[in-house]
Structure 1
Amino acid sequence: MRGFSMSENNSNNSPKRQGGGRNNRRRNNSKTRKHGGPPRKDMLDRYEEFNNMAYQKAIDRFSQDPLPMAFPADVDEKYVELSWVSNPIPLTSEQEVAKFVVRRGEFGFLPDERVGEIAELVDGAEMTLDQALSLRSALLQEKTVYGHHRLKDKARELKRLYDEGVGIIDLTQRYDFPPMNIFRAILAARGWSKSRIKESLKNAEKKLNERDLAQFKRAEEEDRVANVDQTETHLRAELFEDILCDWFEENGVRFRRQGEMVKEQNLAHGRPLKTPDLLILDDVRINGQPVAWIDAKHYYGGDVGFQRKKTTKQMLRYVEEWGQGAIVFRHGYCENLHIPGTILLDSSPLDLSRLSPTEDE
């Protein structure tokens, strides 16, 4: 098989062209823009050649010379057929939920009253509360990214109001930016460098004055998008990955884990290059589809432009090296979502009892 690269595809079919650009940012900011991407059928037609190449490359990876990255030289693959039943969420349901999970000036962990309100609203929408809260996180991330340049333009104005005594949370309500991003913008408007801001927020008790420290703590409490401490999120993601690994081990599948490949590539290249959560070492077919790698996503796979673009970019690196793989979404995914060269799965077959039920907020 010829080398697998994007140059073999028409440039209009490249996953790198999916989303992005200033024109798309303007569309994402439009109040009248309908939630969700192009119809999945259209995307399958558009990327048919690419998806077929990814499929074949996954099958051929064992006979490839030289072997793909991170593959053991003495691998003796066995054929493993697995069944995996997923239940994707209709786009119409996601569109309904997307209308009410995000409010102006609301970026923090939600109070019980608001969570209860969302729970009532999703009751008849074919989505769970966890899925709705995870979708909210993705929408807030998108809102934050596409509003970044507007925030930078407002930095001096925000600093002036802050210096006049207006608090960070009041500024959040007024301008609809995440509290921590407002705080960082104010520090930058003072002339602080990025490294000084980063160091000051890591050692806030020692580096910030009394008012700044109080406002920083308040901003952290009210911001789940741009807050400094993401420890709990990472720990839950690692536990979900462990559960996924246990499932494949129980089904007799051999694989390499990300941590092992990171160490190996750091030694060989000075940095990690391509490290999926699981690199599959057997000829695994899930629902008849070859799967060369698995990536675990501890969230709901919504049809959200920014998240889709970011995921496509990451998965493309794996597809180019090993061929078709799969993403397993902790909270399921939207049936309209398409990631080129990648099959999508939810967590239905997994025993998630080690994870708390409502953890995203």
Structure 2
Amino acid sequence: MSTEQNPKKGSSTPKSDSKKTSKKVARGRKAKRKKPEQRGSGGSEIDLEAVERANQRFDIKPLPMGLPDNLEPAPKKVQIKWKLTPVPTKVERSVHDIVCRPGEFGFLDDERVDEIAELIKGKQISLEQALSLRAALNQEKAVFSHGRLQRRAREMQRKYKAGEGVLSLSKRYDFPPVNLFRAILSARNWSKNRIKEALKEPEKKLNKRDLEQFRKAEAEDRVTHVNQSEAHHAADLFETVLCDHFTANGVRYRTQNELLKEQVAAEGRPVRTPDLLMLDHVEINGVPVAWIDAKHFYGANSSWQRRKTQKQVNRYVEEWGHGAIIYRHGFCAGLKLKGAILLDASPIDLSKLIKHNQRLKDERTTEG
């Protein structure tokens, strides 16, 4: 007599048990799968809640900050196509060591720029993007090395006191020259306020050697140097040409300066001030954009830059919903920001900005 149970009575063979078990496991696996996230242009993840907030911002009562009570004519829908060419993540990584060398924080001479241009030839990244990436990497290095510098401040002070210059120490230990100089002053037990005042009026507050070393540090430090007026002026000019672009596309908006004045009058301080606050229903590549903030640099896939920008984006999304960040020198495909699509400046007429930058370059060449 066979010991095999009758399958009609609900029993099963070990083989059929195995099949049922495998089906259950398969069903379990399917249940655990996450829904694919909606993606926008350039692979950016779309925050659907932020999109809804952007679409409804003109209907909310009270209105979000900065939106006029009676907007005439009513907000219209403006759809804009924006071609994007992000830098592949692998390409960006491959360029890191080419553009960023220990102790190299200042302007690059023509020979070094030509060297970089030759080394990145054939890669999907332009020379301007590579140089802007260098600035981002140096900024990140300055931030992450700050604690290490503070721990070694007294050591730097001893070496400086023994006669070694700031630039020599900067190259040897890979610290930004101006940060290094500040650390030396701090190691003398100078307060933060005293250091700030001294660097604001160095001719009056520093001795002869310190003044000489500070000037050398400033000249070789484009990351943590005190005078950022050139960078600010270029950023302002970029915002201007961005405004011109959207005006030409028939888009209404409020500028950062308008928002700033209004918020200072109402709140006593600026609260949320994107470069452009859209007064129409703008969609770029099919994604609602309630605000735009302009960055006069390359959008590197660095944790420090991403965290800093995401914090800013979060404030704007909370008030107006989904927006956009536009990078003057493009961005890395690996960079993702929740609540904002990423744009490059390729559709914008940058002739004013290019002329300005060329003039600055010519002036530096003449001074040199």
> Take 1:296 and 1:177, find their aligned partners in 2: how far apart are those partners?
29
2:62 corresponds to which letter in structure 1? P
Which protein is bigger by CA-based radius of gyration? Answer: 2
Q: After superposition, what is the alpha-carbon deviation per residue over 1:105-138, rounded to whole angstroms, capped at 9, x for unaligned?
A: 1111111111111111111111111000000011
Query: Quick one: structure 1 residues 43 and 82, their matched pair in 2 at CA, closer, same or farther if it must change by over 3 Å?
Result: closer
2:21 matched to which residue of 1? none
Residue 198 of structure 2 corresponds to 200
Match of 1:260 among 254, 258, 261: 258
SS at match of 2:99: coil
The partner residue of 2:343 within 342, 345, 349 is 345
Which residue number in structure 2 is paired with residue 218 of structure 1? 216
Deviation at 1:99, TM superposition (A): 2.3
The C-alpha deviation readout for 1:193-231, integer Å capped at 9, x for no partner, is: 111111111111111110000000000011011000111
SS in 2 for 1:281: strand
Contact 1:43–1:338 (CA under 8 A) maintained in structure 2 = no
Q: How far apart, in 1, do the equivalents of 2:97 and 2:211 lie?
A: 35
Q: In 1, distance between residues paired with 2:145 and 2:264?
A: 35
Equivalent in 286, 290, 293 of residue 284 of structure 2: 286
The answer for the alignment partner of 1:250 in structure 2 is: 248
Show the counterpart of 2:153: 155
Equivalent residues of 1:106, 1:173 under 8 A apart: yes
Q: Which amino acid aligns with 2:323?
A: G
Residue 51 of structure 2: aligned partner: 55
Residue 5 (structure 1) aligns with: none
Contact 1:241 1:296 in 2 (8 A): yes
Q: For the Cα contact (< 8 Å) 1:44–1:338, is it kept in 2? A: no
Q: How far apart are residue 289 of structure 1 and its match?
A: 1.0
Match of 2:159, SS state, is: helix
Is the 1:108–1:224 contact (alpha carbons within 8 Å) kept by the matching residues of 2? Answer: yes
- Deviation of residue 169 (structure 1)? 0.5
Q: Which whole-Å CA distance do the structure 2 matches of 1:154 and 1:97 have between them?
A: 30
Runs of at least 4 residues off by over 2 Å: 41-45, 356-361
Whole-Å separation in 2 of the counterparts to 1:166 and 1:302: 35
- 1:264 Cα deviation (Å)? 1.1
Quickly say closer, same or farther: Cα 1:43–1:337, change in 2 above 3 A.
farther
Q: Any conservation in 2 of the 1:96–1:125 contact (CA below 8 Å)?
A: no
TM-aligned CA deviation for residue 42 of structure 1: 8.5
Residue in 1 that maps onto 2:69:
73
| 2:100 matched residue in structure 1 | 102
C-alpha distance 58-94 of structure 1, shift in aligned 2 (>3 A): same
Q: In the alignment, residue 182 of structure 1 is paired with which amino acid?
A: L
Structure of higher RCO (CA pairs closer than 8 Å, 6+ residues apart): 1
Shift of 1:356: 2.4
SS of the aligned residue for 1:294 comes to strand
Query: Partner amino acid for 1:218?
Result: K
Amino acid at match of 1:71: L
User: TM-score, normalised on structure 1?
Assistant: 0.85
Flag the 1:43–1:138 CA change in 2: closer, same or farther, 3 A. Answer: farther
State the shift of 1:330 in Å. 0.6
Report 1:107-146 matches (<5 A): 107-146=105-144
Distance 1:335 1:222 in 2: 31
Deviations 1:279-311 (A, max 9, x none): 001011111111100001111111111111111
**Which letter does structure 2 place at the counterpart of 1:68?**
P
> 1-side partners of 2:182 and 2:97: how far apart?
29
Deviates more, 1:152-161 or 1:92-101: 92-101
Report if the CA contact (8 A) 1:101-1:133 is conserved.
yes
- Once the two structures are TM-superposed, the CA of residue 43 in structure 1 deviates from its matched residue by 11
Distance 1:99 1:122 in 2: 11
Q: In 1, Cα distance between the equivalents of 2:287 and 2:85? A: 17
Residue of 234, 237, 240 corresponding to 2:235: 237
Q: Residues 159 and 44 of structure 1: is their aligned pair in 2 closer, same or farther, counting only changes over 3 Å? A: farther
Q: 1:336 aligns with which of 334, 337, 358?
A: 334
What SS does structure 2 have at the residue aligned with 1:104? Answer: coil
CA separation of 1:223/1:267 partners in 2, compared to 1, >3 Å: closer, same or farther? Answer: same
The CA distance in 2 between the partners of 1:289 and 1:42, in whole Å, is 14
Amino acid at match of 1:252: G
Q: Secondary structure at the match of 1:138?
A: helix
CA distance in 1, matches of 2:96, 2:278: 35
Matches of 1:262 and 1:108 in 2, distance apart? 33
CA distance in 2, matches of 1:264, 1:44: 35
Aligned to 1:18: none
Give the share of equivalent positions with the same residue, in percent: 56
Distance 1:83 1:339 in 2: 20
Kindly report which structure 2 residues correspond to 1:181-200, keeping only aligned pairs within 5 A, or say none.
Answer: 181-200=179-198
RMSD over aligned CA atoms reads 1.9
Task: Tell me the secondary structure at the aligned position of residue 356 of structure 1.
Answer: helix
Give ranges in structure 2 of 5+ residues lacking alignment. Answer: 1-35, 362-368
Aligned to 1:59, what secondary structure does the other structure show? Answer: helix
